[in-house]
Amino acid sequence: MSVWAIIMHENTISKRYNLIEKLGEGGMGAVYHAHDRLTGQAVALKLVNANPLHLHTNSHANNPSNDPRLSLAHEFQMMASLRHPHIISVLDYGFGRDGQPFFTMNMIEHAQTFLQAAHHQTLKTKIELTIQVLQALAYIHRRDILHRDLKPSNVLVKDGHTYVADFGLAQTLDDAQGGIAGTLAYMSPEVLMGNPPTQASDLFALGVMLYEILIGKHPFLKDTITETITAILSQDPDWSAL
């Protein structure tokens, strides 16, 4: 096997997707620009961070319903069923090398995150972007689906059009790995207190994002985790800059 063939093999997922370059990385995984060998199209492929020890443990053998791979597959199916102009469509999903979960999405090239796109924009544009995210949330909430990890990096904007990504996966992954779903800076008080997330939890996260684009800073983020949690649980945002 040639050196080039070895490189292509190492950068191929599920014998179908060639990874071209890493686009970004976060707590839930890394996103790559990939080439779909079946369709010839460019796609965004997300390799999900999931501890192989949790995904391959034999402890699920006697009770397959507890296998986190089944939960992930269910979440992937749910994500693939969503069709909305402000939601990034999931095209395919599966488990690649060493059982690592992945899913592919439509490629939104040259997009900005929610905060980047809103920077230096008019109040009218900021409200329009926020309404588009609200429309996406209303769509999933009518279907009894929660996002659970809404944050600026999960909302892409291109040409004034928003695209929300990464629905539902945070809860499944953190249930499997014994954590709390979401990103601390955008967690609602009830989630921090150990209660199940609700539609209000998603709206709280969007409210934090709206505050950021209106005021120019995060309403609760402090120097330490403890201080940030205390601020979310007990402090009111400072609205004096409005």
Confidence band of 81 (pLDDT split at 50, 70, 90): confident
Position 75 scores a pLDDT of: 77
pLDDT over threshold 90, residue 240? no
pLDDT at residue 124, as a whole number? 97
pLDDT reported for residue 16: 93
Instruction: Kindly report, residue by residue over 4-29, the tens digit of the pLDDT.
Output: 343 344 579 989 999 999 988 876 78
3-class SS at 33?
strand
Assess whether pLDDT exceeds 80 at residue 114.
yes
pLDDT, position 122: 96
Q: In what order do the strands lie in the sheet with 90-95?
A: 12-13, 17-26, 29-36, 42-48, 101-106, 90-95
Could you read off the pLDDT of 92-101 as tens digits, one per residue? 988 887 788 8
| DSSP H or E segment with residue 158 | strand 155-158
Give the pLDDT score at 33. 95
Q: Quick one: pLDDT at residue 177?
A: 45
Residue indicated by tokens 């899913």: 103
Query: What pLDDT score does 136 carry?
Result: 96
Q: How many CB atoms lie within 10 A of CB 187?
A: 25
Enumerate domains of the chain plus CATH numbers.
Answer: 3-234 (1.10.510.10)
Give per-residue pLDDT as tens, 131-187.
Answer: 999 999 999 999 888 888 899 999 999 999 999 987 755 555 445 444 566 789 999
Measure the CA angle with vertex 64, ends 59 and 66; round to 5°. 70
Categorize the per-residue pLDDT at 38 as very low, low, confident or very high, splitting at 50, 70 and 90. Answer: very high
**CA-to-CA distance for 79 and 165, rounded, in angstroms?**
9
Q: Among all residues, which ones are annotated catalytic?
A: 149
Looking at this protein, which amino acid is placed at residue 127? I
Q: What is the mean pLDDT of residues 69-87?
A: 84
The pLDDT, as a whole number, for residue 237 is 92
